[in-house]
Chains A and B, each alone.
Chain A
């Protein structure tokens, strides 16, 4: 069974600080996908990134960067120079490949609430 652990329940930072959100996953599959979603106070889930298990290259998108390390089963998310608008709950999620059918379901972590104060 797959599992996603986000050990940090809540993180508080002051604007412009860098912050890293941790995500550790468990899966028996060799092919899987990892995701990060943002849930702002308004409640919707905003897709941030997808990474497949064969691509360990780190990714940077503006102030966001992701560090995927298969050896430690981690997919951490760093926000550089945080802003108040970054305040949200961030979810890490995992999906396993479902044979040839292509579909799979997402298993979410419990989320990390990030509070960025001015």
Chain B
């Protein structure tokens, strides 16, 4: 069964560094999302991406964040200058219809 994959599974970085989180959505899906979950808290929407552009973003998704679909398969989230409060699990999701979203296993980002 096709699934969303994410790499790396765990990323440790120092405050102020740039990180890129990678996702490979399910191949025939058209809608892509990033969510984050701070430890012990609920999952929060960051950004949605459709037709090669951002379709919606939350207040969390400020200028430090960017997303890209550099080729036909990858979908990346970049954090330009990480802060301690960016430590969280980041989930990528994809959907064929825009409604039923399938999540990847997540990348745990630890900012020290």
Contact = CB atoms under 8 A, between A and B. Distances in A.
Interface string A31-67: 0010101000011111100100000000000000000
Contacts of B50: 101, 103
A50 B105 CA distance: 19
Interface string B47-58: 010100001101
Contacts, number: 64
A47 to B, nearest CB: 6
Interface residues of A, number: 25
Interface stretch (A17-25, A75-83, A108-116): A108-116
A109 B42 contact: yes
B102 A50 contact: no
B42 A91 contact: yes
Contacts of B41: 110
Secondary structure of the A side of the interface? Answer: loop
Contact of A44 (B31, B99, B105): B105
B75 interface: no
Interface residues of B, number: 27
B77 interface: no
B58 to A, nearest CB: 8
Secondary structure of the B side of the interface?
strand
Contacts of B31: 102-103
A15 B98 CA distance: 37
Contacts of B103: 37, 44-47
B43 A103 contact: no
B10 to A, nearest CB: 10
Interface of A: 33, 35, 37, 42-47, 50, 91, 93, 95, 98, 101-111
Interface of B: 31, 33, 35, 41-45, 48, 50, 55-56, 58, 89, 91, 95, 97-106, 108
